[in-house]
Structure 1
């Protein structure tokens, strides 16, 4: 999100001339451009130069991302190739050599690629030590593809929800842990994912409508024997889960929730990215107001109002009732850590906050998978 907004906002003074004329002010024009970038689905771009590929290593241009400690995934040629990247082996000037743990499918070659935090990816990859079946879920936005890890005779299920602009593979790190606990997993898609039905307006609604697609996945689990549901959410996936807990008639069968780098309030996220782009909070606050007002269609192409005040679960903390494990890095560069800490402080009876010190966004598992897996296993086993 940060890089997208940085690229988008930089030329805003020139780009928003037409918008300014239409809505009557430069500040509104910049706010319009800003919020559009948050709501607009963006196709992934291969950006990391790959200089050399060996049988057990890969040489990349040194960047903050390619130098990060831990294990990661790497896509190339859109989704034609996926590789698993291990530890940093050496650095030399502007080059970094990392271990190549394996290529799941396709052929990793010199050129450009893009990192992901998933490490594992879904079928046809076989690196995940459990079997995933392809299913479909009847959601309000259409039939959504999903993966299923079915543990025979289990009535304990989990539904795992990925983040904004991410893929279902983001959630797979949790599946082997849950399988070992005898918990079946459903990994659903939701509207605006690549290759699935889009929202009518082709915009993200920050969890305020996407929750109903996740309700369909929970209903699938309940209709196939689930008597207890655990919900997982990464980044915006957490915002979706929180709306499900608030609005769904199925929320009563949810026993516990696990969040990784969660959005527990959208306004601080918008404020953070305004600051990252050297814009005043006035821009993000005005943008949020426009999304719920009569100019929402002109501003962001929205079919219906989007009131992000409803996503402020720090303010609404007393409405929560399900135990939560919150994993968040104090140096998260996309979703600020402070709201997670504030939520834990507001509801210490419900929220167990576990802090990482160096991990990037949604990459706590990548940096310390042993700790991540232990915490999740302990929390989910009860």
Structure 2
């Protein structure tokens, strides 16, 4: 007769725990590789063309889209891009199954039926002169690793320095440049390490501000050398992390008279946690994978957590974040606003996804931006 003894139970439990531990370790090791690939590896590939144009006229376009993705029916204004052209789509006119019809504005050509295309938050694809008839100069300044390029739009003695997001580029700033020029300020729209055609970080990774802030510091030094009285760093997504790291680390931070953050990355660990939760990865796997990532790839997540020192902030901050952000937890911006109500003006745009606040409500965005910039100018002149 089979008898269960305490010894047998103990061995069985020990074996079960060992097997469970091996499975957790294996899954965590695998997921740490996904973290490296998705968050840290340098990537300049564009999103795929995942839309199929069905019909297009002078003022509307119909296209089919993949199922299960609601971004094609978001309100607002968006870029529409295909292999050899670019246009703009506006209000949603109809949504039937996988067929969407939206307002259409031709900018550079008109796609034919059957053309593969994509929607993008970037509604301008060129430069300040072509997009807005705003003159600019191409300038170069010495970066921490190599010379860096930038667009310089001349204005006043306060310079807004634009820092684009993860794997982005200068065109990200084209949405906000007109409001800044109307406010009488200069704009410097910069490249930084790991951009296409620019020197890579020695680590070979995006490091979410922990090293990139040195390139922002170089841009600030260039602005000061050219006669700027003060600067306003303007960070989009990962660019917000770079701005925060600059504010905490650079001896040039006292030259900052204001800060603008649009969907800033304020804590990379929480970004990874949100992505894992959406994939239904258990929390204990995610936390173990983060630890393995640090050991395996020489990453310090604590260096990419910027809420822990918000008491060091001294300049006023204009903060935009979408309430429906699926990339960066909006709660991190909520916490920044709650921690520093004396400095932070918070525009939480309820329907917006990641860096979509301008697209969803252009008027609200630009009004808030111009009001903030005027207040910074008044403060500078006191």
Under a length normalisation based on structure 2, what TM-score does the superposition of the two structures give? 0.84
Q: CA deviation at 1:106?
A: 5.7
Once the two structures are superposed, the pairs formed by residues 1-382 of structure 1 within 5 Å of their partners are 25-42=26-43, 43-44=45-46, 45-62=48-65, 63-77=69-83, 80-103=84-107, 105=108, 108-109=111-112, 110-123=114-127, 126-151=130-155, 154-293=156-295, 295-296=296-297, 305-382=298-375
Equivalent residue number for residue 16 of structure 1: none
The runs of at least 4 consecutive aligned structure 1 residues that moved more than 6 Å come to none
1:12-31 Cα shifts (integer Å, max 9, x gaps): xxxxxxxx99xx73322222
Q: Distance in 1 between matches of 2:140 and 2:285?
A: 40
Q: Mark the runs of 5 or more structure 2 residues left unpaired by the alignment.
A: 1-21, 376-382
1:150-198 Cα shifts (integer Å, max 9, x gaps): 12xx211100111112222112211111111110001111222233332
Q: CA deviation at 1:339?
A: 1.0
Name the Cα RMSD after superposition: 2.3
Q: CA deviation at 1:46?
A: 2.0
Q: CA deviation at 1:54?
A: 2.7
The structure where helix makes up a greater share of residues is 2
Q: CA deviation at 1:124?
A: 8.2
1:257-309 Cα shifts (integer Å, max 9, x gaps): 1111111111111100111111123343334333443x22xxxxxxxx43221
Conservation of the 8 A alpha-carbon contact between 1:254 and 1:322: yes
1:73-111 Cα shifts (integer Å, max 9, x gaps): 12322xx533222222333332112222232x4664442
Aligned length, in residue pairs: 348
Q: Distance in 2 between matches of 1:135 and 1:56?
A: 38
Conservation of the 8 A alpha-carbon contact between 1:266 and 1:308: yes
Q: Mark the runs of 5 or more structure 1 residues left unpaired by the alignment.
A: 1-19, 297-304
Conservation of the 8 A alpha-carbon contact between 2:234 and 2:259: yes
Q: Distance in 2 between matches of 1:49 and 1:124?
A: 30
Change (3 A) 1:167 1:115: farther
Change (3 A) 1:108 1:93: same
Q: Secondary structure at the match of 2:223?
A: helix
